[in-house]
A and B are shown apart, each in its own frame.
Chain A
Amino acid sequence: MKFYWLFRKDLQSELRTRYAINALGMFIVVTISVILFSIGQEKITQNLSGGLFWVVVFFSAMSGLSRAFVSEEERGTVLTLQLMSDPNTVLGGKLLFNIVLVFSMNIFIALLYSALFDVFVIKNLPMFLLAFVLGNLGIGISSTLIAAIIAKANTKGTLYPVLSFPILLPLFLTLIEITKKAMEGVPFDEGFIEIATLVSYDVVMVAAGFMLFDLVWKE
């Protein structure tokens, strides 16, 4: 349960400064309004609105999720953390924090997005929700891993999306595909391959993360 206390510490310091929450919230509003301006009076198709939803999610995730490790590096608290706990605890705590952040961010995006886009109607809601949960877990895991790598490099901000995109690409392609299917309202059986892909992606990434993290962390 030690990782829970690390999570509590992160949550508390986040609630004090509200750095990530404010930045993320504003970023989401800005991204959605840019999309709305660029569409203007045109009618967009249903498929396009499903894809654009994940575009907003991707860019919002890239703007705020690297904080988990970068903030430790900037404050110079890495050595203390290394002394006080083992790598798995650190990864567990940071992972939990990032997953909570991704979930709150994406729920906010989903609510705002469905309020602003009339064509964004999901017919098979359970399937979409399942994919949404699995996708958020995947985004949380991959972004935490890349954030750990990024924190050791010199140009942190620009490198983050560059390194994350190829890793997140299979996840996002699958999510876009299943969102399309959920919007058409196909039965659950037809989306089974996508759900299975999402589950395997999450499992594989968690396993790889816990195996590789102490190499990065000790560096």
Chain B
Amino acid sequence: MKKDLIWKAAIYLIMSMVIVAGIAFPIVEKPSAWYEFPLIMGLGENAKIIFFHVPSSWLTVIAYLMAMVYGVKYLRKKNLEDDMKSYAAIQLGSIFCILATVTGSVWAKFAWGSFWHWDPRETSIFALLLIYGALFALRSAIENDEKRATLSAVYSIIAFITVPFFIFIMPRIMTGLHPGSADDSNAGPVVNFKMNANMQVVFYVSLAVFTMLYFWMWKLGSSALILNEKVKKLKYRS
């Protein structure tokens, strides 16, 4: 209990620091003070959304990965708790997926001129959104617990196979606007940052604290689902 409180306090503190730093720190042409961010050509003040957009798309992928890993675990051991954990990850992942789509679309409006471009990365986040939606549709169409767990695990594995195509192959084939696209001078899918040191610190701290927040939420969500199942069983027994 005490340990939990420490974690909560840490997340609260670091999260507020990231929000304040991300929004309030000024962007200047030649940063000299410790709190100043550099001006990135073509982005200007818009660049600040990176502290919230990139962590949410990163968590979308992490949540999906966890959903699949727990799905595989379920297929091995046939323990329904693993399925609940996988389902909690799917629920959270879909929320972060929507957040990533919305923040990205807002950023695209101001940086590239319109809300949606069908840039390869936008296509892939859209495909992930569809996969999450399909998983919800599949889960709601099956009543038997074991059947639902098996089929959703198998589907999440099949869908996961298509992810490399979106992340590594589509950006090479199609021209895009995100860094790391076919016509971009940066190499590889990993973005070459044009940020200075303090911007990078805020960025990575934001990534870390969002991940911590996700794990906390996932723990709560999965234990709530498991307890719910236990209560249901007790009700049937009496």
- The judgment on whether A and B are partners is yes
Give chain A's interface residues, CB within 8 Å of chain B: 145-146, 149, 152-155, 159, 162-163, 165-167, 169-170, 173-174, 177, 193-194, 197, 201, 204-205, 208, 212, 215-216, 219
- Please tell me if B39 contacts chain A, counting CB pairs below 8 Å: no
Q: Are A170 and B141 neighbours in the complex by a CB distance under 8 Å?
A: no
- Please tell me if B54 contacts chain A, counting CB pairs below 8 Å: no
- Please tell me if B14 contacts chain A, counting CB pairs below 8 Å: no
Q: Are B150 and A194 neighbours in the complex by a CB distance under 8 Å?
A: no
A59 nearest CB across to chain B (Å): 16
Q: Are B143 and A154 neighbours in the complex by a CB distance under 8 Å?
A: yes
Q: Are B138 and A153 neighbours in the complex by a CB distance under 8 Å?
A: yes
A86 nearest CB across to chain B (Å): 18
Q: Which residues of chain B in 154-185 are interfacial with respect to chain A, using CB atoms and an 8 Å cutoff?
A: 154-155, 157-159, 161-162, 165-166, 169-170, 172-174
Distance in angstroms between the alpha carbons of A212 and B169 in the assembled complex: 24
A-B contact pairs, 29 of them (CB 8 A): A145-B158, A149-B151, A152-B142, A153-B141, A163-B134, A163-B137, A165-B130, A166-B130, A166-B134, A166-B159, A167-B162, A169-B127, A170-B162, A170-B169, A173-B123, A173-B174, A174-B173, A177-B173, A197-B165, A197-B169, A197-B173, A212-B157, A215-B75, A215-B150, A215-B154, A216-B151, A219-B146, A219-B150, A219-B151
A204 nearest CB across to chain B (Å): 6
Q: A153 — which chain B residues lie within 8 A by C-beta?
A: 138, 141-142, 151
Distance in angstroms between the alpha carbons of A134 and B138 in the assembled complex: 28
Distance in angstroms between the alpha carbons of A194 and B146 in the assembled complex: 39
The number of residue pairs between A and B whose CB atoms lie closer than 8 Å in the complex comes to: 81
Q: Are B141 and A154 neighbours in the complex by a CB distance under 8 Å?
A: yes
Distance in angstroms between the alpha carbons of A215 and B131 in the assembled complex: 20
- Please tell me if B133 contacts chain A, counting CB pairs below 8 Å: yes
Distance in angstroms between the alpha carbons of A174 and B174 in the assembled complex: 9
User: What residue in chain B is nearest A177 (Cβ atoms)?
Assistant: B173
User: What residue in chain A is nearest B126 (Cβ atoms)?
Assistant: A169
User: What residue in chain B is nearest A156 (Cβ atoms)?
Assistant: B141
- Please tell me if B8 contacts chain A, counting CB pairs below 8 Å: no
Q: B165 — which chain A residues lie within 8 A by C-beta?
A: 170, 197, 201
Q: Are B134 and A170 neighbours in the complex by a CB distance under 8 Å?
A: no
Distance in angstroms between the alpha carbons of A154 and B147 in the assembled complex: 12
Question: B99-131 toward A: CB 8 Å interface, digit per residue (1/0)?
Answer: 000000000000000000000000100010011
With A194-B173, A215-B150 given, name 20 new contacts (CB 8 A).
Answer: A149-B155, A152-B151, A154-B141, A155-B141, A163-B134, A163-B155, A165-B130, A166-B162, A170-B165, A170-B166, A170-B169, A173-B170, A193-B169, A197-B169, A208-B157, A208-B161, A212-B154, A212-B157, A216-B150, A219-B146
Where chain B touches its partner, the secondary structure class is: helix
Distance in angstroms between the alpha carbons of A212 and B159 in the assembled complex: 12
Q: Are A152 and B147 neighbours in the complex by a CB distance under 8 Å?
A: yes
Number of interface residues of B (CB under 8 A): 31
Q: A212 — which chain B residues lie within 8 A by C-beta?
A: 154, 157-158
Known contacts A152-B142, A153-B142, A163-B137; A170 and B151 CB within 8 A of each other? no
Distance in angstroms between the alpha carbons of A163 and B151 in the assembled complex: 12
A184 nearest CB across to chain B (Å): 15
Q: Are A162 and B133 neighbours in the complex by a CB distance under 8 Å?
A: yes
B90 nearest CB across to chain A (Å): 14
Q: A201 — which chain B residues lie within 8 A by C-beta?
A: 165
Interchain residue pairs A-B with the least CB separation, the first 4: A170-B165, A153-B141, A166-B130, A166-B131
Q: A197 — which chain B residues lie within 8 A by C-beta?
A: 165, 169, 173
Distance in angstroms between the alpha carbons of A205 and B161 in the assembled complex: 8
Q: B141 — which chain A residues lie within 8 A by C-beta?
A: 153-155, 159
Distance in angstroms between the alpha carbons of A162 and B133 in the assembled complex: 8
